[in-house]
Amino acid sequence: MPCPPAKITLEDQFAALDALSEVEDVAQRESALRGALRGKSNFVVARAARLTGQWEFKKMIPDMVAAFERFMKNPVKTDKGCAAKLAIVEALNALDYDSEEVFLQGIRHFQLEPAYGAPEDTADILRGKCAFGLVRIGYPHVLPELADLLLDKASATRQAAVRAVGGVGGEAAEMLLRMKAIAGDSEPQITGECFTVLMEIAPERSLDFVARYLESEDAWLANQAALTLGESKIPAAFEILRALWEKHATTEQRGELLLPLALHRSEEAFQFLLHVIEEAHQSLACSALENIKYCASDDARRDAVRKAVEERDEKAVHAAYTKNSKE
């Protein structure tokens, strides 16, 4: 009686796909990937999709679209964790797939899977990747889709939506991001992301808007606004930060501004921090030494810092300089 054929394990299928990198015949690679994309295992399909994108096999886009459609049916059972759908969407983006059907399905997809306690939505990252796809192809009605995502229950999706809105650009996108920032978010970093994107797409108009949050009661948000202004490198942003320094009376408040000022990286910002090292209380001087590395970008600036430290006969300042010079 003949022995039944050995069962092909997931590890065997993964190994076979990985071995394709040694196959020089492109047609043979494509054939193997096509077979894998038609398989039942969502993890195998995910691996095949990633390889398809990596090797830029655009001819296999229809095979990936068909696989995506297949895993949209009974998805909790067929594609746990959205592993296959997510890998397919990432590969389609990498291959410049230019149709909206897959992305529209994905951006509206919620996949509630059993978990400890309440069911868990595993499609949050997928929605964000599909948002990127719609922006990339210039889908004309993308902003209404992104407006929904800005209020998504999943923080990862909301954050991806902020970035996607920035990718659209223009005044409508700017207004959406302002409204999102004003409404706030349960995750402060998402409001901070709004600041960053606003300064990228409309820096001059957004300067005063972001500056409003410098004295927010939420200390994290105030700090994020300061960091955003510093990273913008706009000359007027430096003046706003310097004026806030003058307004603040405590060492702690001023210390919070040293990193944003350093990130401005301008000559004015460098000279400001250098003056702090030369003249300010030693705790501020030490803090300035921790941050000035971000704008001490050449030998002349580094020499100026070294001389400023040498002129202060304070062990704490010298120790801070030594420590930060080694990092």
91-122 pLDDT, tens digit each: 999 999 999 999 999 999 999 999 888 899 99
Sign of CA dihedral 268, 271, 275, 276: positive
Same domain, 321 and 265: yes
Domain count, the chain: 3
Q: Is residue 145 part of a domain?
A: no
| Residue 306: CA count within 13 A, CB half-sphere | 7
Same domain, 204 and 239: no
Using one digit for the tens of pLDDT, what is the confidence trace for 268-295? Answer: 999 999 999 999 999 999 999 999 999 9
Same domain, 326 and 274: yes
Residues of the chain with pLDDT under 50: none
Give the Cα separation of 290 and 259 in Å (integer): 9
Amino acid at site 76:
V
Q: Is residue 203 part of a domain?
A: yes
Q: Is residue 254 part of a domain?
A: yes
Model pLDDT, residue 115: 86
State pTM to two decimals: 0.89
3-state SS, residue 121: strand
Model pLDDT, residue 310: 93
* CB 28 within 8 Å of CB 62: no
Same domain, 62 and 127: yes
* CB 143 within 8 Å of CB 150: no
Domain membership of residue 281 as a residue range = 234-327
Domain end residue (candidates: 189, 214, 232) = 232
Same domain, 10 and 106: yes
Give the Cα separation of 67 and 84 in Å (integer): 8
Give the Cα separation of 37 and 91 in Å (integer): 12
Using one digit for the tens of pLDDT, what is the confidence trace for 155-176? Answer: 999 999 999 999 999 999 999 9
Same domain, 182 and 200: yes
Same domain, 29 and 92: yes
Q: Is residue 147 part of a domain?
A: no
Q: Is residue 150 part of a domain?
A: no
Domain end residue (candidates: 176, 200, 232) = 232
Domain end residue (candidates: 179, 205, 232) = 232
* CB 265 within 8 Å of CB 297: yes
Same domain, 34 and 76: yes
**Which phi and psi angles does 297 have, rounded to 5°?**
-95, 0
Model pLDDT, residue 2: 60
Q: Is residue 91 part of a domain?
A: yes
Give the Cα separation of 234 and 251 in Å (integer): 25
Sign of CA dihedral 35, 38, 42, 47: positive
Give the Cα separation of 263 and 290 in Å (integer): 12
Model pLDDT, residue 156: 97
Same domain, 171 and 282: no
Model pLDDT, residue 122: 97
E strand or H helix that includes residue 113: strand 112-113
Q: Is residue 312 part of a domain?
A: yes
Same domain, 9 and 50: yes
